Every structure is written in C-alpha cells, then in structure tokens.
Amino acid sequence: MSGATVLIVPGLRDHVAEHWQTVLGARLPRVRAVPPMGRDDLDCAARCAAIEREAQAVEGPLVVVAHSGGVVMVAHWAQHTRRPVLGALLATPPDFERPMPEGYPTIAALEAGGWLPVPRRPLPFPSIVAASRNDPLGDFDRVAALAGDWGSRLVDLGAVGHLNPASGFGEWPMAEGLILQLEAGDATVA
C-alpha cells in the first residue's frame, strides 16, 4: 500500500470483530475508523459529521472504505465535504428506498433519520462500488444503477450475500487490491 490513509466507514451495525473491515483495518499501516455510533442511532447528519471529523484529522492522501449503510453515509457526506479524497471503495450498499428484511430499519425510520432520498449526484472523487448478486439488502440492478448515478466503477462480486460474517466473510482479500487501484487513480468506469 502507498502512503494513503484508509478511513473505514462501517455500516449501521457498527464495528464487528470478525468483519472484513475490522480485519482489513488491523492489517493496514495507516488507518482510521469512524467511531461506533450505536445501532439505534439513525441520525444521518451525526454520522456524516463523524466521517468529516475523521477525514479532516488525516494528513495527506485519503481513501475511504465503506460497507453497507456506511456507503449511503459516504454518499451524503460527499455532497458537502471539501476534503480531497483519492477514492472510495463502496461495498454492498443497501437499497434504503425499498423495504428491508426484518431487523433492519424501516423506510419511515430511515426517512426520519435523514437518509432519504439517497443522493444520486456523481461523487466528487473516484469510486468503486462492489456489488453482490444475492444481497438481501440491495438488488444488484438497483445497486448498479446507484453506481452509475455516482459515476462509480461497478465490480460484480458474484453471489456473496451482504459481504459480512453472516454471509461467510471475515477476510475479503479483494479489498486491498481495489484500494490499490484507487490509490493509483484507476477507478475508471468500464
């Protein structure tokens, strides 16, 4: 890895010890993470402010690595930050505009928390959206449309569920290669 610092933005369920982001963060030489906000705190503005604090605390090049709800947080944050970002790896974004499975926030709760509508403008930095073909939280075609709206390169991961421990993912070696591509300026939309 080059001299960039990786900023890890977890999803709504915060940091999990066996999660690929946690494993990745322990391996990288320069990493920061957005601190846990609590599973019940759905205040999108507060979460975006936490991303901004962590991003501004980094000196030098920055790559953002977000998962799940963290991807939507980054899409909201990106509309307001002036912090230069080399690129963002956006893994398995959920489709907050459609009802999610039991145990996840409702559309009404997400709307009340400021998550909706999900931003559709192009992101102000290069990005890669890694999407699953069988993600219970986001239909592949709808996630691909989001990637297109954001100007992101879409990477089809195949059938990896939600790319989390429940889907059998602790380590995700592909993440490091995608981060290297972002550091090298290779997030070109294919």
180, burial (CB in 10 Å: exposed 0-12, middle 13-18, buried 19+): middle
pLDDT confidence tier of residue 74, bands split at 50, 70 and 90: very high
Q: How many CA atoms lie within 13 A of 90 on its CB side?
A: 30
Do residues 119 and 79 lie in contact, with contact meaning Cβ atoms separated by under 8 Å? Answer: yes
pLDDT at 188 over 70: no
Better-predicted residue by pLDDT, 169 or 65? 65
Nearest to 68 by CA among 102, 96, 38: 96
pLDDT at 14 over 70: no
pLDDT at 89 over 90: yes
Starting at the edge strand that comes first in sequence, how are the strands of the sheet with 5-9 ordered? 31-33, 5-9, 62-67, 87-91, 127-131, 153-156
pLDDT confidence tier of residue 41, bands split at 50, 70 and 90: confident
pLDDT at 190 over 60: no
For the chain, domains (ranges, CATH) are 5-183 (3.40.50.1820)
Q: Which residues pair with 131 in a beta bridge?
A: 156
pLDDT confidence tier of residue 160, bands split at 50, 70 and 90: very high
Tokens for 119? 């931003």
**Tens of pLDDT along 132-157?**
999 999 999 999 999 999 999 999 99
**Tens of pLDDT along 164-181?**
888 888 889 999 999 999
Provide the 3-class DSSP secondary structure of residue 129.
strand
Provide the 3-class DSSP secondary structure of residue 150.
helix
Please give the average per-residue pLDDT across 46-64, as a whole number.
96
Question: For 3, phi and psi rounded to 5 degrees?
Answer: -85, 5
Nearest to 54 by CA among 29, 37, 72: 37
pLDDT at 13 over 80: no
Helices 20-27/174-183 angle, 10° precision: 60
Question: For 176, phi and psi rounded to 5 degrees?
Answer: -65, -40
Helices 69-78/44-56 angle, 10° precision: 70
Structure confidence at residue 28 (pLDDT) = 92
